[in-house]
Structure 1
Amino acid sequence: MSVLKKPFTAIAAAIALCATSLGALADEPRYNQVSLRAEVSQEVAHDLMHVTLFTEGQANDPTKLAAETTSAMNAAVEQARKVKGVTVSLGSRNSYPVYDDKGQKITAWRERAELRLESTDFAALSQLTADLLGKLKMGSMNFSIADATRAKNEDAMMKGAVDAFKARAQVLTDALGGKGYKLVSLNLNTSGAPRPMPVMRMAAMKADSYGGAPAQEIEAGTSQVTVSADGTIEVQMP
């Protein structure tokens, strides 16, 4: 029997310790948890220009067509690389057969290849685009905020988002009749919504009209950058 006393003694001690802990918790002030959100927004000017140009052709001989496409793209890439501050990359390239009216016999092949250009120097890229439109066709032109610019603005806005969260937390605490609050969790999130851009007139013009033509004036627009603070507070009641 003396051997069995030790386990029972340990269990009794554990129960006593648990009861003591529960008693201590009962003495702590009670809190009500509330989730809330605050955000700050700012218009940021686009400082990065994106242009997609393409070549597209059709021929009976797919090998000859591929060679012509490659030649056109190589010439465009070589010309684009000479412009300082412009990032050059190749986009998608695909070819597919063209069938007769009955859809049974291949009558020709079509091939399309893209050239993508990007720069913070709008004037240089706009002039390059005008020059290349004598050889390629316009696919798209759009604008965005450069990663470094976005990060700089978001960092500056984070303090404002936190301050707005704290102010709202205090308003809620006062509305609930609390005597204070403590922060349980807080998450900061960022987002940006680009503004609609006008359709570029150059996309509708014939490519052969660009021989030596001046570059189009650029209106890059803005995006609204938002930093939000989502979190939970515990309001201490009297």
Structure 2
Amino acid sequence: MNRQRREIKMDRAAWLLFFTLCTALAWHARLHADEIPVRGQPVDQVSFRVQAGRELANDLGQAVLYLQREGRDSASLADAVNRGMRQALKRAGAEQAVKVSTGAYRTWPVYDKNRIVRWRVSQELRLESSDMAALTRVVGALQDQLQVRSMQFLLSPAARESAEESLTVEALGRFQRRARAIATALGASGYRLGQLDISSSGPPPVVGLRREVAAAGVSRVAAPAVEQGVSRVQVTVSGSIRLLRAE
């Protein structure tokens, strides 16, 4: 009997010791919880972004014209479009400053009460140039034969790339200055660079002309009046820094 009582007392003491240790560990973890960084959210980490932008005059013009014929005989229509496009290519090619290429070629039926009553055949002519005066001259010269589908102005790839390079340097400088200002304001001795992302963006091309000019009965058409406009190039630098504390 005495032996059983001693074993019961020992079991109670062991459970009491175990409970006391668990309570102490729980309070210790609670007291120091703020000292443990949450995964994915390091202590003293600051995220922000800066931008640098510039407006530049558009230096590239693009125009799309098309030749279309309509009638009952699709073969004769295709022949007329082919001959007309050859003439247009010859006239446009005379302007050395303008790049000329052909675009979409389409043949499709026109229905009336589920019956084909006639056909339409069309082909596009694409023009591109950094010489805006030359481009508008060619467009004006071809409008007695072709119709204008669209005309737009944008930055050339070379101009955009050059602007993005200089703006990237400018944006990175702004990021460094902002990082130093944040570290100073928050009483840190410095900072360590964390994640860094660089992206660029620009607006869609400026539409200088979008209309269809009827060619029938027109012997001469003046060059279209256009405004090439400007495009804004923008570079964004976003990232995070980790503040350093003096020990």
TM normalised by structure 2 equals: 0.76
The match for 1:227 is: 235
Distance 1:83 1:204 in 2: 23
Mind listing any 5+ residue stretches in structure 2 that lack a counterpart?
Answer: 1-41
Amino acid at match of 1:137: Q
Q: Deviations over 1:191-230 (max 9, x none)?
A: 1114754556xx3654368644442343100011001112
Amino acid in structure 1 at the alignment position of 2:89: V
Counterpart CA distance in 2 for 1:209 and 1:34 is 69
The CA distance in 2 between the partners of 1:175 and 1:113, in whole Å, is 64
Cα distance change of structure 1 residues 155 and 69 upon mapping to structure 2, 3 Å threshold: same
Q: Name which one, 1 or 2, has greater alpha-carbon Rg.
A: 2
Equivalence map 1:154-233=2 (5 Å): 154-194=164-204, 197=207, 199=209, 203=211, 205-207=213-215, 211-233=219-241
CA distance in structure 1 between the aligned counterparts of 2:103 and 2:213, rounded to whole angstroms: 23
- State TM-score, norm by structure 1: 0.79
Residues 33-65 of structure 1 deviation map (CA, whole Å, 9 limit, x = unaligned): 222211111001100001110111211111111
SS in 1 for 2:203: strand
| Aligned 8 A contact 1:130 1:210 in 2 | no
Instruction: State the AA in 2 paired with 1:62.
Output: S
Provide Cα deviations, 1:76-112, integer angstroms capped at 9, x if missing partner: 1121111112111111121111112x22x21111122
The CA distance in 2 between the partners of 1:117 and 1:191, in whole Å, is 25
Cα 1:66/1:205, change in 2 over 3 Å: closer
* Structure 1 residue 119, shift from structure 2 partner: 0.2
Distance 1:87 1:176 in 2: 58
Within 5 Å, which residues of 2 pair with 1:22-41? 32-41=44-53
- The residue type equivalent to 1:46 in the other structure is N
Distance 2:205 2:141 in 1: 28
Match of 1:18 in 2: none
Gaps of 5+ in 1: 1-29
Paired residues, number = 206
2:155 match: 145
Contact 1:50 1:143 (8 Å CA) reproduced: yes
Determine the structure 2 residue equivalent to 1:78: 90
DSSP 3-state at the match of 2:202: strand
Query: How far has the Cα of 1:134 moved from its partner?
Result: 0.5
Percent of aligned positions with the same letter in both sequences?
A: 33
Deviates more, 1:42-51 or 1:154-163: 154-163
Runs of 4+ in 1 over 3 A off after TM superposition: 194-200, 203-214
